[in-house]
Structure formats: C-alpha cells, structure tokens
Amino acid sequence: MRSFMVIAALVLLVSSAGAATLTENFDEGGGFFGATGLGTPSVPVVAGWSVKNNSTAGGTTSWHSNSATSPFTAQSGSGYAAVDVNSTAGQNTISNWLFTPQISFNSGDQISFWTRTIAPVDFADRLQVYLSTAGSSTNVGSTETSIGDFTNLLQDINPNYAKTGAGSYPTQWTQYTLTIPNSGTGRVGFRYFVTNGGPSGENGNFIGIDSLNIVAVPEPATIGLLGLVGAGLIARRRR
C-alpha cells in the first residue's frame, strides 16, 4: 500500500508538471474581442489579454474575432483570432501585437498554436512570436520596428514574404510548436509584422490564430526519478 502511494504521488507530480499553463480557443460567446466579423474591435473580453497596434499609420481594424465561414472556418470550435492588412492605411509597415495574459514558465515548456492565411496567396503574410520575461509588461515601444521588453524571438513565419513554396505562410491550418528557452514570468506576444503592407502595399492580407496551448513540460530529472523509484519498488517486491 505504501509503495502504491509513493508511485501515485510521483505520477501526480509528473502529470501536474505537464498541465496546461494557458489554453485559449477564441470561442467566447459574442466574440473573443467583444464582436465578431471584420469591424473595428474592442479590447479582448478575456481577462489579461491585450492588443497594441504599432503600425506606421492607424488602420481601420486591429486584432478581431472571426466566426464566419469567410474567408475560412475555425481550426476548432466556432471562432479564431484574426488580423489583416487594414491594420494600417496606404502603403506602410504593419506591426500589430496580441499579448497573452502574464504566465509563469520554465525552460523547456512548450507553446503550440494553429495558423493559416487565405488561399490562393496574392499578398504574402508574416507572423512573429515573441516572449517577454518582464512580468505583466506589454511594453513593445511606440514604433513599427520596436519590440520593447519582448526580446526573445521564438518564431518568424515567412520572413522573406514568399507567396508559395518552402517557408511561405500556410494556406491550410498548420500547427506550430515552440520551446520556451528560459524560466521566468511574462507574456507571449503574437506580432503581425508586414513591411510594404497595407491596402496599397505589396504584402499583407489576412491570417488567423486558433487553439493556443502553453504547456509545462516535465523536467527530465522528475521523469527519471519516477523511473528509478518504480524500478526500486519492483526489485524490492522480487526479494
């Protein structure tokens, strides 16, 4: 009985280490940003989330909810977070940020999310994923190129603005899994970053993000300890 309790406690430890730190499917009733469709958004309705549009010139939209079938349906559930070329006006640089709530994380924890753009691709899209270890800060500076406290670039999807082929933005829902490189507290920032963008530019169209999960990964030492204890208990029963 005592051996069973030890194993159960260790299994619980490993399970809790692998639990989700943050899960968001963007399916809130009425829209994650308080309204559905492509109109001007309100702030996110979910506590802790935030947006900031640092684009060169203010556009007519920022991050917004989409639950319509056009231009594409959600990866899962009824809705997703979307952002588009109208984040700026004319021909300018788009720098439009979506911040998660403040979370605690350890080196090796994982971020996974799904994203896609419209097919066929007439205008190339780009998304960057940054990590800040500055607690609750949403400081990304005040210009289209500044990143402020978000100094850890974890992913840059389509930095060369390819329309097709290797490295281009996926036109079907595609999952990305990223590893957090260090420990601390902070936020993840999704940055729709498009140079020569805007309604009159050569780049930028529409992207969606869905099914975000940030998961604590068990440390190898914890898994190893479970294995050693389990082996020891088995050997003890055999004697």
Least confident window among 23-32, 88-97, 122-131, 193-202: 23-32
- pLDDT for 169 beyond 50: yes
pTM recorded for the entire structure = 0.84
Average pLDDT of span 81-87:
95
Query: Candidates 2.60.120.200, 3.50.50.60, 3.40.50.800, 3.40.228.10; correct CATH number of 20-217?
Result: 2.60.120.200
Radius of gyration (Cα) for the chain, nearest Å?
Answer: 21
Full DSSP string of the chain? -HHHHHHHHHHHHHHHHTSEEEEE-S--TT-TTSS-SSS-----SSTT-EEEE--SS--S--SEEE-SSSS---SSSS-EEEEEGGGSSSSEEEEEEEEPPPEEE-TT-EEEEEEEE-SS-SS---EEEEEE-STT-----SSSS--TT--EEEEEE-TT--SSSTTSPPSS-EEEEEE--S-EEEEEEEEEEEEEESTTSSS--EEEEEEEEEEPPPPHHHHHHHHHHHHHHHHHHH-
What are 216-235's pLDDT values in tens digits? Answer: 998 665 445 445 445 454 45
Bigger pLDDT: 6 vs 45? 45
Domain-wise residue ranges, the chain: 1-18+219-239, 20-217
Distance set, CA 36 to CA 24, 48, 86, 188, 191 (Å): 17, 20, 16, 23, 21
Backbone angles phi, psi at 206, to 5 degrees: -165, 130
> Would you state the pLDDT for residue 26?
95
Q: How confident is the model at residue 201 (pLDDT cuts 50, 70, 90)?
A: very high
- pLDDT for 20 beyond 80: no
